Amino acid sequence: MWRLPSDRRPHDSWAYVLGLSDGGRRAQVIGDRYFILMEFLVRPGQELRPGKKIYVGKGPRKEVSRFLRYLSMDDLTPVAVSMLEEIVRKIVKENEEFFVGFFNQARPITRRLHQLELLPGVGKKILMRILEEREKKPFESFKDVEERTGLKNPMESLISRILEELGGRENYYVFVATKRLMEEAESRLIGI
């Protein structure tokens, strides 16, 4: 569902500040679409705080200047780690329509495993209900998914999966563009 052609890499234009390092000169952020963990230099005179949404895309940036590196969970400061779940919850909640779309569009990964089964609480029974219900009518909200399928708290299930993927030890990544994925995409682009 989230794959891009091999000549492009995922890119987040907006991100939330998770924490600061190097005396406030570096901002650790998480992208609001691919959950990319990144570090940027903070522009002089800018006071960033955890939870603030900032522009990190191409072109002029107000709060941060130069991209420094992609991060993994191991690179995050303790403050950034403590903010992670709250910020992921905020992103999923603010983009409910987009994430409900996952329930409508998710596909099989292999002949025996479906993307939906990666979500905590989704076994074969719930998977079959989701597939049957989305054939009748696309889901419109998290509440709709819950009422029609019996999956308890679909939003929390998504948040749990995203946090698991951010940990970087999964076999399949549906939502998160990890540090490894970003570095591999970058090396393909420059021909390393």
- Which domains, ranges and CATH numbers included, belong to the chain? 14-82 (2.40.50.140), 94-190 (1.10.150.280)
- How much is the mean pLDDT over the chain? 91
pLDDT tens readout for residues 122-134? 999 999 999 999 9
Would you state the pLDDT for residue 7?
45
Cα separation, 7 vs 9, in Å, equals 7
pLDDT tens readout for residues 125-173? 999 999 999 999 999 999 999 999 999 999 999 999 999 999 988 999 9
Give the pLDDT band (50/70/90) at residue 3: very low
Would you state the pLDDT for residue 4?
37
* pLDDT surpasses 60 at 189: no
26-35, 90-99, 172-181: the lowest-pLDDT one: 172-181
Contact 73, 40 (CB under 8 A): no
Q: How many CA atoms lie within 13 A of 86 on its CB side?
A: 12
Give the pLDDT band (50/70/90) at residue 187: low
Cα separation, 56 vs 31, in Å, equals 8
Residues 6+ apart with CB under 8 A from 56: 12, 13, 14, 15, 29, 31, 38, 40, 64, 67
* pLDDT surpasses 80 at 55: yes
* pLDDT surpasses 50 at 6: no
pLDDT tens readout for residues 61-101? 999 999 999 999 999 999 999 999 999 999 999 999 999 99
Measured in whole angstroms, the distance separating CA 43 from the mean position of its chain's CA atoms is 25
